[in-house]
Chains A and B, each alone.
Chain A
Amino acid sequence: QQPVQSPQAVILREGEDAVINCSSSKALYSVHWYRQKHGEAPVFLMILLKGGEQKGHEKISASFNEKKQQSSLYLTASQLSYSGTYFCGTVLYGNKLVFGAGTILRVKS
């Protein structure tokens, strides 16, 4: 049931772009994206729902392909503060949110 994330790790220079992908073998109700910095709580970035609705931070962009059960998180013009581990989480039903293995993003100056 755990979604599959790729890549496992990304290193960027400030200003560069990155895409993180998340896929599931099951039909999803929604996809969540969170960022976790070392020693801190996961912080909500975005939720993508069946039917196309999205809710989240204005500077974050993501997509959800319902036919393929795939989601992508787009990080543009990266800043040092974007560094952290990005988790996608999938909801098949109710309140069961299951996280992928995570993508470590490091932005260098």
Chain B
Amino acid sequence: DTEVTQTPKHLVMGMTNKKSLKCEQHMGHRAMYWYKQKAKKPPELMFVYSYEKLSINESVPSRFSPECPNSSLLNLHLHALQPEDSALYLCASSQDWGLGNTEAFFGQGTRLTVV
């Protein structure tokens, strides 16, 4: 199984809502990532988890809250988002020895619309 599965595929939420994005992989990878991608732009790194611990936070606003409950799951909790947060949110995973010498596997993403 070489898949990274993200749910839901699409999400529409109001600015006062709380929602969560979910990401799952069963490749035994110990590094997991959240990227945000706006239309016609490259994926932009948000968070990196290594061995279930947050190792990189790219100065992401606190309305985005990541969680890694176990080695296979990664969540992104959303609260009080703004319309400009509408984007494709991509999850990725990789072997634990770092992306210096191994590839990242990406999920299909969750397309988020904030209204």
What residues of chain A have their CB less than 8 Å away from a CB belonging to chain B?
A: 2, 29-30, 32, 34, 40-44, 47, 49, 53, 55, 87, 91, 93-102
Interface check B64, CB cutoff 8 A = no
Q: Is the CB of A55 within 8 A of B98?
A: no
Q: List 9 A-B contacts (CB under 8 A).
A: A30-B101, A34-B106, A42-B106, A43-B106, A49-B100, A91-B100, A95-B56, A101-B41, A102-B42
Q: Is the CB of B102 within 8 A of A47?
A: yes
> What residues of chain B lie closer than 8 Å to A44, measured between beta carbons?
103-105
- Residue from the list A41, A96, A102 in contact with B90, Cβ < 8 A: A41
Q: Is the CB of B42 within 8 A of A97?
A: no
Q: Is the CB of B100 within 8 A of A30?
A: yes
Size class of B's contact patch?
20 to 34
With known contacts A41-B90, A41-B108, A96-B48, A47–B103 Cβ distance under 8 A: yes
Q: Is the CB of B45 within 8 A of A98?
A: yes
What residues of chain B have their CB less than 8 Å away from a CB belonging to chain A?
A: 4, 31, 33, 41-45, 48, 50, 55-56, 90, 94, 98-109
Q: Is the CB of B99 within 8 A of A97?
A: yes
Q: Is the CB of A47 within 8 A of B108?
A: no
> What residues of chain B lie closer than 8 Å to A42, measured between beta carbons?
43, 90, 106
Report the tally of A-B residue pairs with Cβ distances under 8 A: 69
Q: From B91, which residue of chain A is reached at the shortest CB distance?
A: A41
> What residues of chain A lie closer than 8 Å to B50, measured between beta carbons?
95
**Complex CA distance for A29 and B100, rounded to whole angstroms:** 6
Q: Which 6 A-B pairs rank lowest in CB-CB distance, beginning with the nearest?
A: A99-B42, A41-B106, A44-B103, A29-B100, A97-B99, A42-B106
- Residue from the list A2, A32, A43, A94 in contact with B98, Cβ < 8 A: A94
> What residues of chain A lie closer than 8 Å to B101, measured between beta carbons?
30, 47, 49, 53, 55
> What residues of chain A lie closer than 8 Å to B55, measured between beta carbons?
94-95
Q: Is the CB of A93 within 8 A of B43?
A: no
Q: Is the CB of A96 within 8 A of B45?
A: yes
Q: Is the CB of B106 within 8 A of A97?
A: no
> What residues of chain B lie closer than 8 Å to A93, measured between beta carbons?
100
With known contacts A91-B100, A96-B56, A101–B42 Cβ distance under 8 A: yes
